[in-house]
Structure 1
Amino acid sequence: MRFLQDIRYSLWFLPAIITAGAVVLAISAIELDSRIDVAALSPWPWLFGTSAEGARGMLAVAAGAMITLAALTFSITLLVLSLGAAQYTPRVIRTFMGSYRTQAVLGVFVGTFVYCLIVMRSIQGSTESMVPSAAVTIALLLSLAGAGLLMFFIHHMASSIQVSTIVSSVSADTLKTVDAIFPDPLERRNANDAVWRLGKTEHHEWFPVCSLRSGYLQTLDHDALLAFAKSYFVTARMEKSVGEFVTRGLTLISITTPPSGEMTRKLNSFYLIGHYRTVEQDVGAGIRQLADIALKAMSPAINDTTTAIMCIDYLSSIMIKLAPRRIAPNRQFSKGELLVIPKGPDFGDFLNEAFEQIRETAQGNVAIYVRLLEALETLARVTNDIARKKDIADQVRLVSDYARCNVQFPDQLKKIEMHRTEALKCCVLEATAL
């Protein structure tokens, strides 16, 4: 699992695959040329006719141009990565590295370079009959395609560095994770997420299983954990949820029997622990990235309110997606026996992750306060859960309290109070309707 994530966001795997394909193409083209009669190509001298010296020269120029373009592409990519980390947040670097377009362009340039070298090596004589004409023609076509890809790559990088592209990409990845992790609608009986995380487990004696390494919990194999609990006849209680940091030697999970060394290794193998949070099973990681971009935009060095408001809009779209979903993880049973007690964030945790630091950093920015209140009002309209409406109402009051402390002009305060009243009205009236 770790290997699959590493290659997904690597700048070497897809280029290596394309380069290997170029090697196969070169060998196949040379073999094809050896089976074609030179006389059969004579009707198209403008396409296949060239001397051995001319073919070597063209292949040498093409190979030199492609490796130069590959170096240029790497340089531009590294420059964009550094700009993105400095301008927005270091956590968006993986978004750039995971671009298949960038990886494909790098692969085509390096692959064409390798292709030209192999074909040039096959030209051993000085007569036209010793020239692999079809292979040389393919090299010409690949070089022309490389020139077109360079223009495409420049346009792609210029577009991808725009904040709107970055924010929408992070939001799209997060929304996909929401659909994958929280597919079920919120039911009345599941209204209070906290109920699902509590239970009558006092009769169990819990034994801690320590983590074998330090880092962030990126993913968890839930099926493997359930199968483990079945095979060892134990109940497992998660002590850390995906997205949290775990320290080596401290408790990762608890079970109802003293763990052996083999059990400890197996339980640790179900978790993917890395140096950073990822969005694959961690909705909070995507929310954190958008919040960080907003915080960076509101910093005195940048002071870009428009970008901060854009981040709030995308954060609100994620929260609106979460509002009608059941977020609390399911307990897992087998034949009536409780086997896995999960742990995970609730709606209030996501709400705090999205808006808390933005609210605290606004520092009297009326536009930020107003957009936060508008987002919370919209959020209150799309959920009928009393507990979640209470969380939203608490956020509304906190935003208005911060505004009163930081905004000095009465007209601006009046505008904020108007939005506060509307947001609280949505929370109270619709909750009462239940």
Structure 2
Amino acid sequence: MRDPAGRERGERIRESFVLVPLLGMAAALPLAALTVLIDQVVTWFLAASADLEELRSALESLVESGNAVLQTAGPATLTVLGVVFSITLVALQMASGQLSPRVMYLFTRGWTAKVTLAVFLGTFVFTLLVRYAGGLLGDDEGDVPFLPVFSTAAALLLVGASLVAFVYFVDGTVKLMRPTTVLDRVGRETLRQIRALPRATGPVPRRSKVAPLGESCTVVRSRADSGVLVRIDTARLMRWAARNDAFVRVVPDIGDYVAPGTPVLEVHASREPRRLDRAAKAVRTGAERSTFQDPAFGLRQLADIGVRALSPGINDPTTAVQCIDRLQLLVEAFAVVPQGERTLRDRKGTARVAIPLPQWEPLVDLAFTELVVNSGGQPQVSRRLMAAFDDIEEAAPEERQAALRRVRDELRRTCVRSLSQEVVEFALTPDHQGLGGNARAGGAADAGR
């Protein structure tokens, strides 16, 4: 299993839109130096050998066309890159307006856009350096012109790679404008984070604010800028707790807004802990939430898309049904996550860090309440919701049924208020497709419960 420190480093790389393009530009430097060096050696070798006069003459005839390729490739890639990303920003604005502004992070986290930018910028830097080096070496050679054979070949390969990256980039951008693609990506990422949470093996008590017996409690306050709690650096916090022989409890939930000076950690230790500022640095805030360590944010996005689809301005109940498809899968996965907190232990088995886990009832409300309230007059949505509630009840333990019964009752009241009596029974019949699927037998009995 991947260690938490490695996962956190990988997440920081994914969230950065600068690192990969900069690496592409940096990789162009040694590549340009290598190809220019090889071309210089080939030029010297051909100039020193009289037997290769014909080959040198043939290669010299290619110098002009090779320089033309190098002169055109760099500026052309940079021009195309500017046009492509300008169009992409317009497409992203359209997608965020139709779906949700919170889907914009999918573009910054995706590898396609970063790799495309890295290839285009790398090609531009490579051709610029080769042209400059070729001019210097060509002046030094005098009667023997510099032959950029390998440099031109590498530039052509980079141009070809840029074209391939461009095709994949356009394909990914077009897919990002499709609701199903966005929903699938959000659902997969959220499900991956849910499966990283512990599984319930028995009744787990809710987290307690009482300090362990015989130990003092030190409250650590946030020293970062105000923002949303996006990440707990568990590796840093574990190391700090082990050095101070302490137990650390994270106070806010992932996704909470944290202002400077807000209590973020409770440190329980038998002696006064040192360097509390290092412990505070483990609590990372940001401008917006991320699905990493915060699977509830995935449900928030899906619910937002579904509610927007049900708004009078858009009126797209089919998209709302597609959101419910993913929400049902995620809520069923949450059904086996224990209530309370996640306790991390060191190699000796000593509990060091406790992080709050997402709670069942708030997650059910987050996933379905807004959709239920806005589903009035949409039998397609209410039928799909009833089918989702039935399936989740089969997967959830008995002690978690109350939250599902509550949203089911609210859905019945919403349908009664919004629809005529003749349509209510139809609207409350479970149907996995909303409309057009094989409605479950006994749906009328369910509607009357």
Q: TM-score range by the shorter chain?
A: 0.7 to 0.9
Paired residue type of 2:98: Q
1:290 matches 2:296: no
Deviates more, 1:257-266 or 1:18-27: 257-266
**Deviations 1:155-179, CA, capped at 9 Å, x for gaps:** 2221222111111001111011011
CA distance in 1: counterparts of 2:67 and 2:258, whole angstroms: 58
TM-score by length of 2: 0.82
1:95 to 97, 106, 111: 106
Q: 1:22 to 1:339 in 2, by over 3 A?
A: closer
1:23 matches 2:29: yes
**Deviations 1:55-93, CA, capped at 9 Å, x for gaps:** 322211112211111212321332233222222111111
2:385 to 372, 381, 394: 372
Deviates more, 1:130-139 or 1:31-40: 31-40
Paired residue type of 1:347: W
Deviates more, 1:166-175 or 1:325-334: 325-334
Q: 1:333 to 1:170 in 2, by over 3 A?
A: closer
CA distance in 2: counterparts of 1:247 and 1:122, whole angstroms: 53
Unpaired runs of at least 5, structure 1: 427-434
TM-score by length of 1: 0.84
CA distance in 2: counterparts of 1:249 and 1:199, whole angstroms: 19
CA distance in 2: counterparts of 1:207 and 1:373, whole angstroms: 48
Q: Corresponding residue for 1:409?
A: 420
Q: 1:116 to 1:233 in 2, by over 3 A?
A: closer
Q: CA deviation at 1:255?
A: 3.4
1:354 matches 2:374: no
CA distance in 2: counterparts of 1:201 and 1:298, whole angstroms: 47
Q: Is the 8 A contact 1:89 1:289 kept in 2?
A: yes
**Deviations 1:312-367, CA, capped at 9 Å, x for gaps:** 11111111222233353244679998765543321212111111111122232221
Q: Is the 8 A contact 1:364 1:403 kept in 2?
A: yes
Q: 1:9 to 1:54 in 2, by over 3 A?
A: same
**Deviations 1:389-416, CA, capped at 9 Å, x for gaps:** 222222211221222222x222321124
Q: CA deviation at 1:242?
A: 1.5
Alignment of 1:310-349 (within 5 A): 310-331=322-343, 340=353, 342-349=355-362
Deviates more, 1:249-258 or 1:263-272: 249-258
Q: Corresponding residue for 1:390?
A: 402
CA distance in 2: counterparts of 1:404 and 1:43, whole angstroms: 88
Q: Is the 8 A contact 1:30 1:132 kept in 2?
A: yes
1:197 to 195, 200, 207: 207
Q: CA deviation at 1:154?
A: 2.0
Give the match's secondary structure for 2:289. Answer: coil
Q: Corresponding residue for 2:289?
A: 277
Give the match's secondary structure for 2:284. Answer: strand
Q: CA deviation at 1:109?
A: 1.3
1:11 matches 2:17: yes
2:129 to 115, 118, 129: 118
Q: 1:160 to 1:417 in 2, by over 3 A?
A: closer
Alignment of 1:34-45 (within 5 A): 34-36=40-42, 37-38=45-46
Q: Is the 8 A contact 1:288 1:354 kept in 2?
A: yes
Deviates more, 1:213-222 or 1:301-310: 213-222
**Deviations 1:260-293, CA, capped at 9 Å, x for gaps:** 8954412311211111111110111111111111
Q: Corresponding residue for 2:174?
A: 158
Q: 1:353 to 1:423 in 2, by over 3 A?
A: farther
Q: How many residues align?
A: 417
1:71 matches 2:77: no
Q: Corresponding residue for 2:221?
A: 210
**Deviations 1:222-258, CA, capped at 9 Å, x for gaps:** 4544554454455444321212122222222233579
Unpaired runs of at least 5, structure 2: 432-440
Give the match's secondary structure for 1:402. Answer: helix
CA distance in 2: counterparts of 1:42 and 1:412, whole angstroms: 89
Q: Corresponding residue for 1:33?
A: 39
Q: 1:328 to 1:91 in 2, by over 3 A?
A: same
Q: Is the 8 A contact 2:39 2:150 kept in 1?
A: yes
Q: Is the 8 A contact 1:323 1:347 kept in 2?
A: yes
Q: Is the 8 A contact 1:178 1:321 kept in 2?
A: yes
1:59 matches 2:70: yes
CA distance in 1: counterparts of 2:235 and 2:75, whole angstroms: 51
CA distance in 2: counterparts of 1:90 and 1:309, whole angstroms: 20
Alignment RMSD = 3.3
CA distance in 1: counterparts of 2:250 and 2:284, whole angstroms: 14
1:238 to 231, 244, 250: 250
Paired residue type of 2:415: A
Give the match's secondary structure for 1:28. Answer: helix
Q: Corresponding residue for 1:140?
A: 156
CA distance in 1: counterparts of 2:327 and 2:53, whole angstroms: 62
Give the match's secondary structure for 2:341. Answer: coil
CA distance in 2: counterparts of 1:365 and 1:170, whole angstroms: 25
Q: Is the 8 A contact 1:119 1:135 kept in 2?
A: yes
Q: Is the 8 A contact 1:18 1:108 kept in 2?
A: yes
Deviates more, 1:413-422 or 1:286-295: 413-422
